[in-house]
Amino acid sequence: MHAIEKILAKNSGRAHVSPGEIVTAKIDFAEINDLYLQTIYSFYEMGGRKVWDRERAAFVFDHYAPAPTIKSAVNQCEMREFSRKNNLRFHFDINCGVCHQVMPEAGVIYPGMIVAATDSHTTTHGAFGALGTGCGATDMACILMTGELWMRVPEIVEIRLEGRTSPGVYPKDVILSVLGAIKADGAVYKAIDFTGSYVESLGVPGRMTICNMAVEMGAKTAYMQPNQAVLDYVGARAVRPFQVECTDPGFQYAESHTFDVSALAPQLACPHSVDNVRPLPDVLAEGEIALNQGYIGSCTGGRTEDLSEAARILRGRHLPPYTRLVIVPASAEVLRECMRSGVLEILSAAGATVTTPGCGACLGAHEGVLAPQEACITSTNRNFPGRMGSPEAAIYLASPATVAASILNARITDPRTYLL
């Protein structure tokens, strides 16, 4: 079996599972974000009284942090009360950050587990050798009552990434390139196993960026075999013992795709689809693309390493008039790290606006939404119309370095100009 199948078998009390089978699996951790108050209502409507395990469930207030409307404030109040009533060990309020960043930092994510959350980008946790998947309010209410969720065992697709990227090319460029090839519907309800020498060499932040965007291909979950960097990270934080699952030798994937990242250039996902990806030099050859806003943040591109790369480019420079750069750290821990290192001082001196850790404008709610006809380059994960504000705005997806270089010139720019 594949490691993902072993996890599903273990948590469903079976010796073996196969693609297409329906299993009922125990959930090791459940997370609800502040978009999903309906989870509580459904919980009570179905007869729920107490959360099945106070140690294995948490609310994370990240999509509306801090609350930008009366309605979102009321929702968070009801969630706080539910969390308090159930005496949940973990509760991440508006001061913490994005769920997919704060949960690993808190040690509740570890290899061999199943984590379910009311957020599609829960595939991020494949970076730790975990099975992470998103679900809706009703399914989450069932988990809170029983600690279990039914799932169909997915087919498993291998995406093998070989080679070493050149300076100025980042994990975000790699996953955008893969998306451009596989397309947004290329892995619907399948599991993606990222393998190869490039993956083996990646640290935790790069792994999280790549697994995060697996869902943009329709994937049910993502996976990377943990390397030493992952084991060191998790070992220092994990709140309970864990077991690393390994894929059996000779396992046959449903599909296998190989990509050589060695010659890869920076990539750009152009409006209005995440798989509308082109090499940045090809886009630039067709003419200038003016920008109004740059945005660095979210569960895809708001980690310490992302902000640090932007600071490398912006150090001693300043944004041109009438442009703006919004920086949204992925978590309070990232915020503090960047404060200590001086990264935030560099970004602020360059003219950037630093906001509360969380999702911010990634979902078009607050902290940097776009007006009609504006163009934004962002390190986030989606660029369909209306994702960051007006449906008449244009959104380009790129690495944090490309975002920084581009907004510095008020037009899309190759970051290698500043890094090589």
Number of domains in the chain: 2
Same domain, 92 and 161: yes
Instruction: Please state, in angstroms and rounded to a whole number, the distance separating the CA atoms of residues 213 and 381.
Output: 7
Same domain, 176 and 242: yes
Instruction: Please state, in angstroms and rounded to a whole number, the distance separating the CA atoms of residues 220 and 229.
Output: 25
Instruction: Please state, in angstroms and rounded to a whole number, the distance separating the CA atoms of residues 279 and 387.
Output: 23
Same domain, 171 and 65: yes
Same domain, 60 and 205: yes
Same domain, 57 and 96: yes
Q: Of 209, 233, 259, which residue sits at a domain end?
A: 259
pLDDT at 43: 98
From the CA atom positions of the chain, what is the Rg in Å?
21
* Residue 391 token pair: 């449906």
- In DSSP notation, 145-203 reads HHSEEEEEPPPEEEEEEES-PPTT--HHHHHHHHHHHH-TTTTTT-EEEEESHHHHH--
Same domain, 76 and 143: yes
Residues of the chain with pLDDT under 50: none
Same domain, 110 and 154: yes
Same domain, 210 and 180: yes
DSSP class of 57: E
pLDDT at 420: 76
Same domain, 28 and 172: yes
Per-residue model confidence as pLDDT tens digits over 29-63: 999 999 999 999 999 999 999 999 999 999 999 99
Same domain, 365 and 385: yes
CATH at residue 116 = 3.30.499.10
User: Which range of residues forms the domain containing residue 162?
Assistant: 3-259
Q: Of 259, 279, 313, which residue sits at a domain end?
A: 259
Same domain, 211 and 249: yes
Peptide bond into 366 cis (omega under 30): no
Q: Of 204, 234, 259, which residue sits at a domain end?
A: 259
Same domain, 203 and 272: no
